Amino acid sequence: MTDHPRLAVAGLTKRFGAIQALAGVDLHVGRDELVVVLGATGAGKTTLLRTIAGLETPDAGSVAFDGAEATSWNPAARDVALMFQDFALYPDWTVRRNLEFPLRAPARRLPESEITQRIAWVAELLAIGHLLDKPSTRLSGGQMQRVALGRALVRRPRLFLLDEPLTNLDAKLRERLRLEIAALRRELHTPMLYVTHDQGEALAMADRIVVLIAGRVAQVGSAEDIYDRPASPEVARLLGHPPINLIAATASDGFWRAGDGTPLAPATATVGSRATIGIRPEHLAPNGGPRPAQIRVVQHHGAYQVATVAWAGGESHVLLPPEAALPIGTELHPSVVQDRALIWPG
Amino acid sequence: MTTAAAPGGGGRSGSGGWGAAAVVAPALILLIAFNVFPLFYNLILSFTSAELGVEGWTWVGTRNYQRVFERPEYSAALRTTALFVFLAVVCELALGFVLALALHRRFAGKTALLTALLIPMMLPPAVMGLYANLLYDGDYGLLNQIISGFGVAPPQWRTDPAWKLTAVLIVDVWMWTPFMLLISLAALGSVPRHLYEAAEVDRASAWMVFRRITIPLCAPLLALAALLRTTDALKQFDIVMAITGPNDQATQTVSALLYQGLFADGKVGRGSAYACVVLVLVIALATVCTRYLDWLARRQGRGA
């Protein structure tokens, strides 16, 4: 075994007219790894997958598989399975024929029994057994998505590239398939590059998360790394529910203070320097702070409640215990849990 | 939209009804004068002894129809037409589709080339036929000069019975292949690009992609084009007239025979009977074709 990663992408750059889709992306996927690329819509996630699959030619940068330079290889030679975001099912064909198509490619020459077995396996996995003989154009969005996922999973490729594979499914099925897919790559010993805008999927499944913002890798790390130590306010905003509180602050009297003077965190910086302070809602205790904050909205989430309060010159989210019955207008005194404020100078 | 919203619709007032009638009348009168009346007049004539230049006619019952079914030239013309239509449509479709596959990409001068290819389609068939005569000329024609250049004895296109129908066919193919090319280009353009991409990633061979994706997705539009060409080729007359004249056994299509019988021989009664028989055949064929198109449309609709 060599120690080359299954996939290594370096300096990948792609521009479509005025749009810079990828701006120097570096990325690698190990032999048994599930890497999730997390990014908002338009961050370049799909372009990244298409370039790795060989459907787009990069303007600059390289793609290598197992250490072999592959930037100029055609898609078939790369032997990756790509699940398309828009499904790209073959119309007029039954689900079964759609699933069989990649297995009947001449490069593979699989015996008929193996094909039957794999179709049965993937149909069971994705709960589409009852759809096998339906034409693909008569399926619902969620069913099409499962068939498209199935068409990728029946293969035994070098690498799975999955583009938002679970977005159209109902919550229960999505939950189950997250676990199944994560388990699958261990079973098949095939790495996956999984693209999503859903932080829940990223946190639940990823060995490593690659955060993509505007065509650039903003941060790479484990779920904990990225949640606890986000590299920038933009990364911090992508993860966490309810979203992180971001407050512009200035250093004075040994504290980072919000615009209205509310102290947020101890500051060692010179007086007058500026920073963005990030405080996760769970790190903002409802009481014990110096300044009052009126509750404006309360949302019940079962295990906890989220209160939106007027605090530090803006609105912030505070977590409350589920049994707290606080009417709108109640005054809290939020305080930041010690050492849990994130500080990005600048 | 509701019918009540249409001006003069619903017939709520007498003037509205008359208004509507006034709008429809010109088209209706023309339709009756040039379609309905001739159809019935033709039907009546087919049971008479009417001849051009002969005063008066008498009822002859089904004698004209008996003649049509007995005389060999009538069934021969049907066979000639069927053969011609089949060969013309198949050649044009195949050639047009293959050309479209070759041209289905961006390249410099594509528009100019397509325009040039379309010129024959825009010329009147009679002109094309006369033009072709120059090319087909046994001694001086460009075509035979080229063929002799290869050291092969060139055929006598316009006089050798074995080649006459081919000569007509070539002109028809020359004219209508560009039509099939255009439709084929549209069909190829309508195949979603992501299907080709999916197939590429799935490692399908070029042949698999062509047979399983390109052909099935182009088929409905190509079928429609073939139907249009079939109905048009059934009426083949102009090119035959220009190259061999209407009374040549080798190229006598149904239209040519009708022309010959009615206007040259003056046999109005028998010609009308033949026209009725052909009409019934065409209606039968058209019914089958429209059923097929309906079926295609339903299949597509179900898909959408």
Determine contact: B191 vs chain A, CB below 8 A: no
Query: Token match 């919000």: residue?
Result: A258
What is the distance between the alpha carbons of residues A87 and B194, in angstroms, rounded to a whole number?
Answer: 9
Spatial strand order in the sheet of A19-29: A19-29, A7-16, A60-65, A68-69
Take residue B288 and report the two structure tokens written for it.
Answer: 């089958």
CA neighbours closer than 13 Å in the CB half-sphere of residue B159: 6
**Residue A88 pLDDT grade (very low, low, confident, very high; cuts 50, 70, 90):** confident
Question: Which residue from B232, B253, B245 is spatially nearest to B176, judged by alpha carbons?
Answer: B232
Whether residues B44 and B100 fall in one domain: no
**What mean pLDDT value characterizes chain B?**
87
Q: What CA–CA distance (Å, rounded) separates B262 from B257?
A: 8
- Reduce the DSSP state of residue A44 to 3 states and report it: coil
pLDDT for A308 equals: 94
Nearest CA in chain A to B208: A105
Q: What is the reported pLDDT for B2?
A: 40
Task: Give the pLDDT score at B301.
Answer: 54
Q: Is the dihedral of CA B40, B46, B51, B54 positive or negative?
A: negative
Strands of the sheet with A192-196, listed across from one edge: A80-83, A159-163, A192-196, A34-38, A208-213, A216-221
Do both B87 and B65 map to the same domain?
no
* pLDDT class of B5 with cuts at 50, 70, 90: very low
- Report the 10 Å Cβ neighbour count for A309: 25
Residues B189 and B223 in one domain: yes
B106 touches chain A (CB under 8 A): no
The DSSP bridge pattern shows strands A245-252 and A255-258 to be: antiparallel
Question: Residues of A with CB below 8 A from B302's CB?
Answer: 135, 137-138
Distance in angstroms (rounded) separating the CA atoms of residues B93 and B226: 7
- Residue B137 exposed, middle or buried by CB count within 10 Å (0-12, 13-18, 19+): middle
Query: Could you give the CA distance from residue A283 to residue B242 in angstroms, rounded to a whole number?
Result: 94
Q: Is residue B3 part of a domain?
A: no
CB contact under 8 A, B200 and A55: yes
Reported as a single tens digit per residue, the pLDDT across A160-185 is 999 999 888 888 888 888 888 888 88
User: Based on the domain organization, do B93 and B193 belong to the same domain?
Assistant: yes
CATH number at residue B205: 1.10.3720.10
Instruction: Quote the CA–CA distance of A170 and A98 in Å, as a whole number.
Output: 23
Nearest to A114 by CA among B215, A122, B28: A122
- Are residue B245 and residue B111 in the same domain, yes or no? yes
My answer on whether B98 and B190 are in the same domain is: yes
Q: What is the pLDDT of residue B300?
A: 62
As a whole number of angstroms, the distance between CA B166 and CA B172 comes to 10
Strand A274-279 and strand A284-285: the pairing is: unpaired
Place of tokens 């087919």: B46
Task: List, for residues B231-285, the tens digit of each pLDDT value.
Answer: 889 889 999 999 998 888 899 999 999 999 888 888 899 989 999 998 898 888 8
Nearest residue in chain A measured CA to CA from B212: A90
List all residues of chain A from 217 to 246 with a beta carbon under 8 Å from chain B: none
B205 and B90 in a common domain: yes
Residue A209 banded pLDDT, cuts 50, 70, 90: very high
Do B148 and B274 fall within a single domain?
A: no
CB spacing of B204 vs A101 below 8 angstroms: yes
pLDDT exceeds 50 at position B88: yes
Q: Using a CB-CB distance cutoff of 8 angstroms, which residues of chain B are in contact with residue A81?
A: 201
Domain count, chain B: 2
Kindly state the tokens that stand for A38: 């997390």
Residues 42..81 of A with a Cβ closer than 8 Å to B: which? 53-55, 74-76, 79-81
More confident residue, B1 or A13: A13
Confidence bin at A229 (pLDDT 50/70/90): very high
State which residue of chain B sits closest to A49, comparing Cα positions: B201
Tell if the CB–CB gap between A137 and B303 is shorter than 8 Å: yes
Express as a percent the part of chain A with pLDDT over 90: 69
Over 70: is that where the pLDDT of B53 sits? yes
Contact criterion met (CB < 8 Å) for A80 and B216: no
Q: How far apart are CA B231 and CA B287, in angstroms?
A: 12
Q: Which residue of B has its CA nearest to A90?
A: B195
Inter-chain residue contact B198 with A138, CB threshold 8 Å: no
Asked whether residue B14 is assigned to any structural domain, the reply reads: no
Q: Is A271 on the interface with B (CB under 8 A)?
A: no
Can you tell me the distance from the alpha carbon of B212 to that of A307, in angstroms, rounded to the nearest whole number?
A: 57
Supply the mean pLDDT for chain A.
91
> CA separation (Å) from B208 to A79, A107, A135, A236?
17, 12, 19, 47
Best mutation target, A74, A90, A144, A149, to test chain B (most B CBs within 10 A):
A90
Q: With bands split at pLDDT 50, 70 and 90, how would you rate the model's confidence at A42?
A: confident
Judge whether B302 is closer than 8 Å to chain A, CB to CB: yes
Q: Tell me whether residue B287 is in a domain.
A: yes
Name residue A19's beta-bridge partners: A16
Q: Is the residue at B65 inside a domain? A: yes
Single out the residue of B229, B228, B195, B224 nearest to residue B212, CA to CA.
Answer: B195
Could you read off the pLDDT of A269-328 as tens digits, one per residue?
A: 889 999 999 999 999 999 999 999 999 999 998 899 999 999 998 999 999 999 888 899
Please indicate whether, in this complex, the C-beta atoms of A101 and B199 are within 8 angstroms of each other. Answer: yes
Strand partners, B302: none
Instruction: State the Cα torsion A320-A324-A327-A328 to the nearest 10°.
Output: 0
Min Cα separation A138/chain B (Å): 6
Angle at A185 between CA A44 and CA A144, to 5 degrees: 60
Q: What is the pLDDT of residue B15?
A: 56
- For residue B206, the chain A residues in CB contact (below 8 A) are none
Same domain (yes/no): B217, B177: yes
Radius of gyration of chain A, Cα coordinates, nearest whole angstrom: 24
Q: What is the pLDDT of residues B108-139, one digit of tens each?
A: 888 898 888 888 888 888 888 888 888 888 77
- Strand-pair category, A80-83 with A7-16: unpaired
Tell me, yes or no, whether B115 lies in a domain: yes
Alpha carbons A288 and B73: distance in angstroms, whole number: 110
Residue A106 to residue B195, Cβ atoms within 8 A: no
Q: DSSP code of A283? A: G
- Per cent of chain A over pLDDT 70 is 99
Report the alpha-carbon distance of residue A155 to residue A150 in Å, rounded. Answer: 9
Three-state secondary structure of A81-144: EEECCCCCCCCCCEHHHHHHHHHHCCCCCCCHHHHHHHHHHHHHHHCCHHHCCCEHHHCCHHHH
Is 50 exceeded by the pLDDT of residue B42?
yes
Between positions 193 and 232 of B, the ones with CB within 8 A of A are: 194-195, 197-205, 208, 212-213, 216-217
Q: Do B197 and A138 touch (CB under 8 A)?
A: no
Q: Is residue B22 part of a domain?
A: no
Q: How far is CA A122 from CA A147, B32, B211, in A?
A: 9, 65, 26
Which amino acid is present at A299? Q
Residue B10, in any domain of the structure: no
Percent of chain B with pLDDT over 90: 39
In terms of domains, do B123 and B182 share one?
yes
* Shortest Cα–Cα distance, A210 to chain B (Å): 24
Q: What is the pLDDT of residue B7?
A: 47
Query: In this structure, are B128 and B188 located in the same domain?
Result: yes
Give A210's strand partners. A37, A220
Q: What is the pTM of this model?
A: 0.76
User: Residue length, chain A?
Assistant: 346
Mean pLDDT of B31-58: 90
- At residue A218, the pLDDT reads 95
CB contact under 8 A, B202 and A92: no
B4, pLDDT greater than 50:
no
CB pair distance less than 8 Å for B197 and A101: no
The pLDDT value recorded for residue B1 is 37
Task: Verify whether the Cβ–Cβ distance A79 to B203 is below 8 Å.
Answer: yes
- Based on the fold, state whether residues B189 and B280 are members of the same structural domain: no
The residues, any chain, with a CB within 8 Å of residue A225's CB and separated by 6 or more, are: A219
Helix (H, G, I), strand (E, B) or coil at B111: helix
Domain of residue B291: give its range: 38-70+267-304
**Does any domain span residue B33?**
no
Give pLDDT, residue B8: 43
